Every structure is written in C-alpha cells, then in structure tokens.
Amino acid sequence: MNTSIRTQIGVLVVATSVVQLANGFFGTFISLRVAVEGFVFPGLVLSAYFAGFTLGALIGIKVIERIGHIRAYAAFAGMVAAAASLMPLLVGSPSWVILRAIVGFGCAGVFVATESWLTAKAEPSQRGKVFSIYMVGTFLALALGQLFIARADIKAAGSFNAVVTFFAVALVMVAGTRADPPRLSSVPPLPYGVLARAAPIAVAGCALSGLVGGTFYSLVPAWMQGQGTSRQTIALFMLAAVLGGLAFQIPVGRLSDRFDRRIVLAFLGVGFAASALVMVLMPRTVVTILPLAVLLGGFMSTLYPVCVAHAHDRMPVDRVLAVSGRLILVSGVGSVLGPLIGANAMVRFKIDGVFYFMAAAVLLLALVAILESIMRPSPEHLDTPFEILTPQAGPLAHDPGEPPDEPSQPTDPR
C-alpha cells in the first residue's frame, strides 16, 4: 500500500471518527433534551433517527454510484449539519421527527460512503486490518462523545452548533482528498423468506439486537436524568457501555469461532438479561452501575456480529452483500420499534419496565437459539467468520462475490 493511499485511508478514518464523536454525543444529548421538552410522543422522535439511518444504509450506495464519493459525502454531511442547525429553531415533536430522520439518513450515508471508499482503497490482503482500525476508531470516538455530555447545556443551542461544527470539520478533511470509484458490482436480490428459512436465529437475533440497542441508547440516559442523576454520571455510564461493547468484541468473536454460534448467542442473551435484572434490583450508585454498564454494552454490542457470522455460515459466499443488506433492514426495523415500545413501557412501569422488556427480548432469543441448536446441526464455519461490525458496515467489508479476507481482530485500537 503506497503512501498516498495510506494518507487517504488515514484521513477517512480520522474524519469518520470525528463524525462518530459528534454522533455519540448527539444521540445521548437528544435523549436528554427530549425528556426535558416533555414531548407527547418521545419514542417517535427517538426512533425517527433509526428509521432514517436504516433507509440511508440501504440506498446510500446507489447515491454514491451516481454522484461519486466526495460529492455524496458532502451531501450527506451537509444534510446532517442543516438538520441539526434547524432543530433548536423548530422545537416540537413533528419537526424533530422529520429532522431526526434526516440526521439518521445523513449519518448512514456518511458511513456507507466511508466504508465503500475504504473497500475500494485498501488492498484485499490489508482490508481486514484497515476495517479493524476503522471500527476501533469508531468505538473510541463514540465513547469520547459521551464525555461531552457532562459539560453540555441541555436547553441551549450550543450543543447543536457543536454537532454542526464536527460535521463541517469532517467535510473539510474529506473534501481535500481524491476518490476512486469503488469496486462494486450488481448483486441479485435475495428473495424474502430465503434467509429466514436458512438462518432464522440470525434474522431474529438481528431484529432483537436492533430493538434492544435502540431502546438502551434512546431511553436509559433520559431515565437517569429524570431520576436526578448528574450528567457526569450519565456520561460515565454511557462511556462504560460503549467501551464494554469494544472490549467484548474479540473474546466473544473467538468463542463464536470455536463453538456453535447459537450457543454463544444464548450465552450473550442470558448475560444481558442477568445484567439488566441486576440493574433493576441493586442500588443504583456509581460503584454498581458502571460495571453493569460495561456488561450491558458488551453483551448487547456483540449480538449483531455473531448473528451476521451465523447467517453467512448458512448462506453461499456469493450472497454476502445480499445477506448483509437484508440483516441491516431487519436490525433497522428493530431499532425503530425499540424506542416506541420502550417508551410505552417506561410510562407504565418506569425504567424497571424498560429493563424487563429488554431482558425478556434477549431471553426469548436465548431460548430459541438453544432449541434450534438441539434440533438443527451446526454448520461448518467459514474461514473468516467473525468481524467487528455495526449494521451499516456489514455489506461493505468485503468485495462482492469474494470470500472475506482475514478476520477483523484488531491489534490496534475501532
């Protein structure tokens, strides 16, 4: 890999880390701000982001193919900046639903542009390492973004301006680089039902992963604020959850490569449910909730990549893109439904209801995974089964029609 390509990859990774820093802060901030505003339908405002994100992740690559990487990146980043700058001027449930959906759509487009660009730039033998560094940088940026919550003025417009500034910085960085067309080819559609029949537990797991993740990141910060928890503690809790998600990736990935992935999914489900129930029952002090945040974030963040790996075990290698795209859609639907259902549960049962809801969902997944592992034999693993993934990264980590490269097990920091 020559110096020019390394520079371009480095700029992309740093720029997208800046975006993720803003995104991590903005997600928690909006959860707190929505609670302060007392909107009639808070769950709808919070879930709108995930609806826009899912749509952007699915169609973003078509936009990139039409107008190119740099212009697409600029359009998506500008979209987010414009929507974020309008939010303090148009405070209200209807307007924020639309603007949050635009923010989600733009963020997904930025990530798709970055990841397809990385796929095009990185040599096949280096792609696993490049994506590992990219994903580690993403996790760390998301975690760092939580620390800004401690100093944020929830009612002021300054936080929205900060988000706009971060996206502008990323846009300036990327606008100074050159882009080559990505190595993409047309992929035949995957009929509905094929994946569900081949890997039902992967489909169910991705849906529940999105549902639980959307509920957790949207509602837990707002509840903590409503309980009088200081923003410093909220920031530390969310920071611990994100770092827990990073810390669990490699050990869980190695377990899933050695054992039946469905058993690993059951273990993750039971672990998350147990942590959620302990969160309900134990006194909520900083000493007790930070370790629980690490466990909750770790178990929750590894559900999706294990499900993706299991789905690829069950499907032909040449369907990698189609399978990943379908799992993005399933996860996105779950992410949209999570805040809606969770908000209703919180109204009736307070936060205990939200944790019970999430625990019940993952326990159901664990039960189904165990039953299927008994009834159906385990498939042989692929050569490169597990990778650190978030939903938007799934279909872009490999060339279409080619087996994956080396496993994404980073020795450098996502």
Quote the pLDDT of residue 273.
Answer: 94
Range of the domain at 138: 1-181
CA 261/CA 271 separation, integer angstroms: 15
**Cα(359)–Cα(356) distance, integer angstroms:** 5
Q: What is the pLDDT of residue 351?
A: 67
Per-residue tokens: 216: 């957790």
Three-state secondary structure of 144-189: HHHHHHHHCCCCCCHHHHHHHHHHHHHHHHHHCCCCCCCCCCCCCC
Q: Per this entry, what is the length of the chain?
A: 414
Residue 67 has a pLDDT of: 83
- In this structure, the answer to whether residues 167 and 198 fall within a common structural domain is no
Of 398, 200, 173, nearest in space to 310 by CA: 200
Examine the domain organization and report whether 154 and 221 are in the same domain.
no
Q: CA 325, CA 117: separation in Å to the nearest integer?
A: 17
Q: Does residue 367 sit in the same domain as residue 322?
A: yes
**277 and 135, same structural domain?**
no
Give pLDDT, residue 267: 94
Looking at the structure, tell me whether residues 150 and 258 fall in a common domain.
no
Q: Which residue has the tokens 């034999």?
A: 377
DSSP character string of 16-62: HHHHHHHHHHHHHHHHHHHHHHT-S-HHHHHHHHHHHHHHHHHHHHH
Answer for the pair 201, 369: CB distance below 8 angstroms, yes or no: yes
Q: CB of 384 within 8 A of CB of 403?
A: yes
Q: Quick one: which of 392, 330, 327, 324 has its CA closest to 114?
A: 392
The reported pLDDT for the residue numbered 92 is: 84
| pLDDT on residue 102 | 94
| Residue 389 · residue 135 · CB < 8 Å | yes
Look at residues 130, 145, 175 and name the one whose alpha carbon lies nearest to residue 10. 130
Residues 127 and 152 grouped into a single domain: yes
Contact 366, 274 (CB under 8 A): no
105, 176: one domain: yes
Q: pLDDT tens digits for the chain (414 residues)?
A: 566 677 777 888 888 888 888 888 888 888 888 888 877 778 888 889 989 988 888 888 788 878 887 888 889 988 999 999 999 898 888 899 999 999 999 988 888 888 777 776 666 666 667 777 777 888 888 888 888 888 888 888 888 888 899 888 888 888 777 655 555 555 566 777 788 888 888 889 989 998 999 889 888 888 777 777 788 888 899 899 999 988 898 888 888 888 888 899 999 999 999 999 988 888 777 788 899 999 999 999 889 888 888 887 877 766 766 777 788 788 888 888 888 888 887 777 766 778 888 999 999 999 998 988 888 766 655 544 556 655 554 444 444 444 444 333 333 333
The answer to the question of residue 413 being in a domain is no
Q: Token digits for 114?
A: 């970055």
For residue 221, what is the domain's CATH number?
1.20.1250.20
pTM, two decimal places: 0.79
Provide the number of structural domains found in the chain: 2
- How large is the C-alpha radius of gyration of the chain? 20
Predicted local distance difference test score (pLDDT) of residue 394: 44
C-alpha span between 257 and 276 (Å, rounded): 26
Closest CA to 275 of 267, 370, 344: 267
Q: Which of 161, 181, 201 is the last residue of a domain?
A: 181
Domain match, 175 and 256 both: no
Burial of 359 (0-12, 13-18, 19+ CB in 10 A): buried
